[in-house]
Chain A
Amino acid sequence: ETGVTQTPRHLVMGMTNKKSLKCEQHLGHNAMYWYKQSAKKPLELMFVYNFKEQTENNSVPSRFSPECPNSSHLFLHLHTLQPEDSALYLCASSHTQRGETQYFGPGTRLLVL
C-alpha cells in the first residue's frame, strides 16, 4: 500500500455517460497528479495540483475536468469520452511539486465503448 487510493478500480462507460474518478492520499502531501497510461506509450502527465491550485494542464481535452477540493482529494470528471480515452488512469502525490518521489495509486482501468 502506497497511501494513495483510487476508486473505482475498473470502469466501463459509454460515450454519452458522465462519470468521476476519485483519488485520496493519506500521506499529508501537497501535490497531486493525474496521469494517463495507454498501451505502448509513455506515461502522460495530464494535470498537476499544488496546494489545491492547478499548476499544470498538459493540453488535455475539455472532456476531462479535474477538481481538487483539498490537498487530500483529487477528482477527474469524465464526460462524452471517446474510445481512444480507454486507458489506465493513475493518480499520484508528492510532498511538494519539486521533482520529488511520487507515490502512485493502483489506477482506474477505464474502457470507453
Chain B
Amino acid sequence: SQQGEEDPQALSIQEGENATMNCSYKTSINNLQWYRQNSGRGLVHLILIRSNEREKHSGRLRVTLDTSKKSSSLLITASRAADTASYFCATDSSGGSNYKLTFGKGTLLTVNP
C-alpha cells in the first residue's frame, strides 16, 4: 500500500500567494523528505525533516511534521511562476539494514503570473 499521499492533487494560485501542500503516511518513519519535479524532468530534493523535528525552514520553504497525526505540510511563501512543478513527499521505511524511500503521487502546483 502507498505510504505517502499528498493532498491536494492539484493546486492553482496567483503569483505572490502562499501554497500549502499536505502529506499523510501510514507507518512509522525516520525521516520525511519533499522533492520537486518540473514536467518530464528528474526530481530535485528540497528538504528533509527527521522524526524528532517538528518544523524546518529553507528559504521560502517551511515544512512541518506531526508524527502523532502521521502528516507533514510544505508551505511555499510568496510563490513565483517558476515554482510551478509537481511536489512529492517521500518517507523512508526500513527493511533490515536497508532503507528505501516511498513516494506519493504528488501535488501539481501551478503558479499563475
Contacts and interface: CB of A to CB of B under 8 A. Distances in A.
Interface of A: 2, 4, 6, 40-43, 45, 48, 50, 55-56, 88, 90, 92, 97-107, 109
A104 B43 contact: yes
B59 interface: no
Interface residues of B, number: 25
Contacts, number: 60
Given A42-B2, A42-B105, A90 B42 contact: yes
A50 B30 CA distance: 19
Interface of B is mostly: strand
A45 B101 contact: yes
A96 B64 CA distance: 25
Contacts of B48: 100-101
A42 B104 contact: yes
A43 B98 contact: no
B100 A56 contact: yes
A103 B45 contact: yes
Interface of B: 2, 30-31, 33, 35, 40-45, 48, 88, 92, 94-95, 98-106
A55 B48 CA distance: 23
B45 A99 contact: no
Q: Which 8 A-B pairs give the minimum distances between C-beta atoms? A: A99-B92, A104-B42, A99-B99, A43-B103, A104-B43, A106-B42, A101-B45, A55-B98
A69 to B, nearest CB: 21
B112 to A, nearest CB: 23
Contact of A107 (B2, B41, B104): B41
Given A2-B44, A99-B94, A99-B100, 16 more contacts: A6-B42, A42-B105, A43-B88, A43-B103, A45-B101, A45-B102, A48-B98, A56-B100, A101-B33, A101-B48, A102-B101, A103-B45, A104-B43, A105-B42, A107-B41, A109-B40
A32 to B, nearest CB: 13
